[in-house]
Chain A
Amino acid sequence: MSFHIAINGRPCSAEPRPGQCLRTYLRERGWFGVKKGCDAGDCGACTVHVDGEPVHSCLYPAVRAEGRAVTTVEGLASPDGELHPVQRKFLDAQGFQCGFCTAGFLMTSAALEAERGTAHDDGKLDDLPRAFKGNLCRCTGYRAIEDAVRGVTHTERPAAGQAVGRSPGAPAGPQVVTGTARYTFDVDIPGLLHMKLVRSPHPHARIVAVDTGTALQVPGVHAVFTHEDAPARRYSSARHEHPTEDPDDTRVLDDTVRHVGQRVAAVVADSEQAAEEGCRRVEVTYEQLPYVTDPEEAMLPGAPALHADKGPESRIARPDRNVVGEAHGEIGDVERGFAEADLVVEETFRTQRVQHASLETHGCVAYFEPKAADDEASQRLTVRSSTQTPFLTRRALCALFDLPEDEVRVIAGRVGGGFGGKQEMLTEDIVTLAALRLRRPVKLEYTRAEQFYGATTRHPFKVTIRMGARADGTLTAFSFRVVSNTGAYGNHGPAVMFHSVGESMAMYRAPHKKVEAYSVYTNCVPAGAFRGYGLGQVTFAVESMLDELARRLGLDPLTVRERNIIGPGEHMLTPLGEEEDLHMASYGLDQCLSVIRNATADTEADEPPKGWLVGQGTGLAMIATGPPGGHYADARVRLLADGTYEVAVGTAEFGNGTTTVHQQITAGALHTTEDKVTVRQSDTDVVRHDTGAFGSAGTVVAGKAVLLAATALAEQLRTFAARHTGVARHLCRQGAEAFDCAGRTVPLKELFEAAQAAGAEGELVADGHWGGSPRSVAFNAQWFKVAVDPGTGEIRILRSVHAADAGKVMNPMQCRGQVEGGVAQALGATLFEEVRVDDRGEVTTAAFRRYRLPQYADVPRTEVHFMNTTDAIGPLGAKSMSESPFNPVAPALTNALRDATGIRFTELPVTRDRVWVALRSLPPRH
């Protein structure tokens, strides 16, 4: 039997495997533009055209492509390279962030464009919610995609030296829209072996024996690794600048499993099929142990203690009670404060498990390469990973396997979304173990299902708040009891818990504040870092409670906020004290509130349907512009021989747009245009160190290092130009292509050559370093007007307004995208997203069809307003704006629900069925 298909016009006759889908068939032939987001037909990232019809290639049996013509995103442009109109439009509108979903949107849009005006045209292009039902984007919130389809142009070409504050497009844009941007797994490595993991079916068990004999007999299987092969050393999968922030409670492979889905063994084989078969044949004998999945129960005496075997070296607060971290503090005397209050309210709020759902799954590829180009004999390990923290991961791998840093290189390609989930070492450890043992390249790529039970989630929180106020709304006291479920391992648990009660408790003035907080082990999938890092969960409770307090006092919730928010220059006090390096280096909270005031005043919103209840609500949030305890970045900027510049910086790009900002900052400092600046990044080879792309640090920390380097280079070049020409330094002016030295034009190329000739290469390069301290604070406010159908529970968002105090906005187009994406992601977590676990802690929603992500149809357009502030600490006045837009969204929505219905929703998500159940008990309204 012979097989023939045409892929992008090229004939191909390689026979597919019987059960193979078209997606892997295409990727195995090097068409890496075809992405795996879900591998189950839900996300559309793998959309291709078969004989002109758009299909999800992950569902398309490859054998059925026989005799057909397949077009992937790589075949969309004309053969001479002329972009397809939809590619051009996605570039002009920047209809993407990480870009992992973009090929799917392009292929879908292109098919609809082609259908337009034909007999098959049923108007989908005029009905984008329907057209994009099968395409998920986790980053943008879809507004940018709509603009792309509609042909709106947002990208700009600022003049030389004018890039900062304007909206040039992302430098990787052309690669993203042509499917040539290289993400983690878009590499072809000869001799690559594939890893699959055996996972625990039990919530808590001791591993008595692992029989690998049968598995090793499977053709193609090279090795099976178990806890007996793993280093005894414990570590945390969480990545922080200081590893001591997180408890050392994890092994590469443990002899005890603590949640359903924990990895037990790793099978490495020539192919994924063989590795899978090997996994099915590994026989594990377990001794089951008692388990606990509720954090309150886990703290009770007699509950199974998950990590009782560990001592103080693991830094677990109270292993016998499953408390991995706790905080207790009080300023003033809250009981006195409550006694002084005219009204005291108390309520318990709960937030659910949420998954990051970055479209690129976790995974990495480890391979060996020469340490230096001219030294083939001496090899080192290179780990290409979907990570936010290449440098910290290298550090962890070296510590774990006793390797010197020059023996390990960690790089990230373009990363397909992170949201905190990749501030974690979840695959690099075990892949490194296998690669070192086998001295072969090894890859592990998570499935979508593994993302749900084998990675991390947002921490579920239970927050009890007591709040007292005088009749005029002045707060007298508040106290929080916070219980966070960190799951089977403590990665990020204590740090998230501390952050959760930081800015959330400091934003409101009250003479008496008290907190008790616990981060608790349970036999559930571990929680980890997630956009907002605990703040969103507690903000939901605080903003809900304050709203409730105001309503019960008969006061306007906005007025009560204005009365109690901290002002410019005030101390940011929590019951745990004051953070020394945290400063209010700019203040835009008052402006945020004005934006909300204006929104409430006008009646621009759509009319609600008849019989629906209408309400409005607000949420506020404050966030530090970087993590505590230091966040380091090195940057190097150099002039190249062709007169352009190269920036080297460690931080990773996953759609956050920091690469564009770094380009802009450099172009601004060096009086050039951003297209003259290339950025090398996320590679432990390019700079000395970078803590990583988390804590919203890409602009304020790495950006500041870039600014320092670029500014220093500008000074050096000017000095050298003066030396080279003999013209006084103050008469030498730098331009986009050349220096003007008192009328004499010195092209940058000439300057480069002159420096080389003079042996002054050192003048062509400059370094910058920033330590992430001191830090400032950023503010966000969200306002919704909603209508609720009491007959069905449906919530319709009539208007959404967001005020963001990002300081001086570096790139308005991108920053708007960050805000919109944050609001959309938070709406998902408010309205329907929920990782459900059963009573054994097993995840039951391990696919996108069971875990609903916001689709195009779910996300309203949000009006984004930026405040007019300039920060005294951030680079060029900028502040962070990637995590924080998420935080005020949930309470704004539930406050609007309260306004509409009179019901206080204390538990997320507020799905239509739950809203209807709550409304059912209400007396009918007229």
Chain B
Amino acid sequence: MDLNTVLDVRDARRREPWRPGDAWLGGGTYLFSEPQPHLRRLVDLSRMGWEPVALRPDGALEIAATCTVATLARFAATTLRAPAAPLFEQCCRAFLASFKIWNMATVGGNLCNGLPAGPMISLTAALGGECLLRSQRGAVRRVDVADFVTGAGRTVLDEGELLRSVTLPARALRCRTAFRQASLYGLGRSGALVIGALDPADGSLTVTVTAATVRPVRLWFPLPPDAAGLRAALTAAVGADEWFDDIHGLPEWRRHMAFRYAEEVRRELNPYGEVPAPANPEPAAARPTEEPTR
């Protein structure tokens, strides 16, 4: 829709001082979808010339904030040769929005919106992604995706701070992944989304829950847990008030679906088949900061 209070569109390359009423313009698919009467200027990122998506020499994948969902999906389908490649398409398809929106929507925009059902958050959180942020003064900081989103629609971004890119480590791309999504509707907005990633290097398992919770919840297990261990870890990691409550699913149903799918994911990736993993798994880290792979 028209954003009639917007009086100017500035080219972000000019690096002009940030003003109240400014907003970064990525793909525009969120900004133009709702009234934004508080906005006066859009700072357009479309001419930054950032390479949308590239493999670095160390095998990590750097995704520019301005990379469109369509570009990322095509890259994963045609160029990325990695065990985790199928997860990209699965997450893209978890968008409520159609493939036409993929042509405009950016990976960065999805992250910055911070919605529980943001599937680029699911993807990059599950694969241990790290955000590169740049403040208005030019200060740079790095934040894990799982910490970047702090609540429903909330992120750590300061006023005027820019998300430059997300980097997925090479090791995460080598993981075998499993994906589950629940929605109240056919091909609808996610009510619960669970991704498992099994690291072939050391046999560790990461289970990431999004959509069901107000923020991404990432559990890391040095070895795949048994069912009880997984349940205990998930129970401990998500506060009672962190199960998301909105029109796209009752919190109790989301919680149930998250547990159900976490267990399905665990079984799918269990290298020992149905046999439980060795005893005493460490129900560690709900936070990737405690994750030793980095």
* A730 close to B (CB within 8 Å): no
Shortest beta-carbon distance from A691 to chain B in Å: 36
Nearest opposing residue in chain B for A48, CB measure: B100
Scan A761-785; emit 1 where CB is below 8 A from any B CB, else 0.
Answer: 0000000000000000000000000
Known: A41-B29, A855-B187. 7 other contacts (CB 8 A): A59-B28, A59-B32, A852-B185, A855-B185, A858-B185, A913-B254, A917-B250
Shortest beta-carbon distance from A503 to chain B in Å: 32
* A355 close to B (CB within 8 Å): no
* A130 close to B (CB within 8 Å): yes
* B5 close to A (CB within 8 Å): yes
Q: Mark the stretch among A116-124, A367-375, A388-396, A661-669 that contacts chain B.
A: A116-124
**Which among A21, A272, A836, A916 is the interface contact of B253 at CB below 8 angstroms?**
A916
A-B contact pairs, 27 of them (CB 8 A): A19-B9, A24-B2, A40-B1, A41-B32, A44-B98, A44-B100, A54-B103, A55-B103, A58-B1, A58-B32, A59-B29, A59-B101, A60-B32, A63-B44, A64-B28, A122-B77, A132-B98, A272-B2, A272-B4, A792-B257, A844-B247, A849-B96, A855-B188, A912-B182, A912-B184, A913-B250, A913-B254
**Which among A53, A61, A273, A845 is the interface contact of B103 at CB below 8 angstroms?**
A53
B101 surroundings in chain A (CB, below 8 A): 41, 55-56, 59, 134
* A254 close to B (CB within 8 Å): no
Nearest opposing residue in chain A for B89, CB measure: A122
B100 surroundings in chain A (CB, below 8 A): 44, 47, 54-56, 108, 111, 134
Q: Which chain A residues in 33-56 approach chain B with CB under 8 Å?
A: 39-42, 44, 47, 53-56
CA–CA, A834 and B250, complex, Å: 14
Is there an interface contact between A61 and B28, defined as CB atoms closer than 8 Å? yes
B3 surroundings in chain A (CB, below 8 A): 19-21
CA–CA, A4 and B124, complex, Å: 38
* A672 close to B (CB within 8 Å): no
Q: Which chain B residues in 236-281 approach chain A with CB under 8 Å?
A: 247, 249-250, 252-254, 256-257, 260
Q: Which chain B residues in 72-110 approach chain A with CB under 8 Å?
A: 74, 77-78, 93, 96-101, 103-104
Q: Which chain A residues in 258-284 approach chain B with CB under 8 Å?
A: 272-273, 276-277, 280
A914 surroundings in chain B (CB, below 8 A): 250
CA–CA, A805 and B35, complex, Å: 46
Is there an interface contact between B253 and A913, defined as CB atoms closer than 8 Å? yes
Q: Do A917 and B28 form a contact, CB below 8 Å, given A58-B1, A60-B104, A133-B99?
A: no
**Which among A131, A273, A850 is the interface contact of B247 at CB below 8 angstroms?**
A850
Scan A230-264; emit 1 where CB is below 8 A from any B CB, else 0.
Answer: 00000000000000000000000000000000000
Nearest opposing residue in chain A for B78, CB measure: A119
Is there an interface contact between A913 and B99, defined as CB atoms closer than 8 Å? no
Nearest opposing residue in chain A for B93, CB measure: A130
Shortest beta-carbon distance from A876 to chain B in Å: 40
B139 surroundings in chain A (CB, below 8 A): none
CA–CA, A914 and B188, complex, Å: 16
Shortest beta-carbon distance from A414 to chain B in Å: 23
Is there an interface contact between B253 and A793, defined as CB atoms closer than 8 Å? yes
Shortest beta-carbon distance from A569 to chain B in Å: 45
Is there an interface contact between B5 and A19, defined as CB atoms closer than 8 Å? yes
A20 surroundings in chain B (CB, below 8 A): 2-3
Shortest beta-carbon distance from B11 to chain A in Å: 10
B46 surroundings in chain A (CB, below 8 A): 64
Q: Which chain A residues in 189-216 approach chain B with CB under 8 Å?
A: none
Is there an interface contact between B103 and A130, defined as CB atoms closer than 8 Å? no
* A129 close to B (CB within 8 Å): yes
Q: Which chain B residues in 35-75 approach chain A with CB under 8 Å?
A: 35, 37, 39, 41-42, 44, 46, 74
Q: Do A59 and B33 form a contact, CB below 8 Å, given A133-B99, A134-B97?
A: yes
Q: Which chain A residues in 375-403 approach chain B with CB under 8 Å?
A: none
Scan A45-81; emit 1 where CB is below 8 A from any B CB, else 0.
Answer: 0010000011110111101100000000000000000
* A17 close to B (CB within 8 Å): yes
Shortest beta-carbon distance from B106 to chain A in Å: 12
CA–CA, A132 and B100, complex, Å: 10
Query: 3 tightest A-B contacts by CB?
Result: A134-B98, A19-B6, A19-B3
Is there an interface contact between A916 and B104, defined as CB atoms closer than 8 Å? no
B25 surroundings in chain A (CB, below 8 A): 61
* B282 close to A (CB within 8 Å): no
**Which among A17, A41, A108, A122 is the interface contact of B2 at CB below 8 angstroms?**
A17
**Which among A135, A280, A844 is the interface contact of B98 at CB below 8 angstroms?**
A135
Is there an interface contact between A19 and B2, defined as CB atoms closer than 8 Å? yes
**Which among B27, B98, B260 is the interface contact of A792 at CB below 8 angstroms?**
B260
How many residues of chain A get a CB closer than 8 Å to chain B's CBs? 65
Is there an interface contact between B4 and A276, defined as CB atoms closer than 8 Å? yes
* B8 close to A (CB within 8 Å): yes
A847 surroundings in chain B (CB, below 8 A): 34
Is there an interface contact between B186 and A855, defined as CB atoms closer than 8 Å? yes
B104 surroundings in chain A (CB, below 8 A): 55-56, 59-60
Shortest beta-carbon distance from B87 to chain A in Å: 16
* B7 close to A (CB within 8 Å): yes
Nearest opposing residue in chain A for B25, CB measure: A61
* A18 close to B (CB within 8 Å): yes
CA–CA, A53 and B74, complex, Å: 14
CA–CA, A108 and B46, complex, Å: 24
Q: Do A41 and B97 form a contact, CB below 8 Å, given A55-B103, A61-B25?
A: yes
A447 surroundings in chain B (CB, below 8 A): 1
* B191 close to A (CB within 8 Å): yes
Of B189, B247, B257, the most chain A CB neighbours within 10 A belong to B247
Q: Do A18 and B9 form a contact, CB below 8 Å, given A58-B32, A917-B250?
A: yes
A40 surroundings in chain B (CB, below 8 A): 1, 33-34
A285 surroundings in chain B (CB, below 8 A): none
CA–CA, A855 and B98, complex, Å: 12
Scan A117-160; emit 1 where CB is below 8 A from any B CB, else 0.
Answer: 00110101000011111110000000000000000000000000
Nearest opposing residue in chain A for B189, CB measure: A849
Is there an interface contact between A852 and B188, defined as CB atoms closer than 8 Å? yes
B103 surroundings in chain A (CB, below 8 A): 53-55
B6 surroundings in chain A (CB, below 8 A): 18-19
Is there an interface contact between A39 and B253, defined as CB atoms closer than 8 Å? no
Is there an interface contact between A129 and B186, defined as CB atoms closer than 8 Å? yes
Of B2, B46, B77, the most chain A CB neighbours within 10 A belong to B2
B74 surroundings in chain A (CB, below 8 A): 120
Q: Which chain B residues in 101-153 approach chain A with CB under 8 Å?
A: 101, 103-104
Nearest opposing residue in chain B for A845, CB measure: B247
* A911 close to B (CB within 8 Å): yes
CA–CA, A80 and B100, complex, Å: 29
CA–CA, A64 and B45, complex, Å: 11
CA–CA, A272 and B3, complex, Å: 11
CA–CA, A120 and B78, complex, Å: 9
Of B3, B32, B188, the most chain A CB neighbours within 10 A belong to B32
Of A41, A55, A276, A834, the most chain B CB neighbours within 10 A belong to A41
Of A19, A55, A449, the most chain B CB neighbours within 10 A belong to A19
Is there an interface contact between A911 and B186, defined as CB atoms closer than 8 Å? no
B41 surroundings in chain A (CB, below 8 A): 18
**Which among B1, B4, B39, B260 is the interface contact of A791 at CB below 8 angstroms?**
B260
* A832 close to B (CB within 8 Å): yes
B37 surroundings in chain A (CB, below 8 A): 280
B32 surroundings in chain A (CB, below 8 A): 21, 41, 58-61
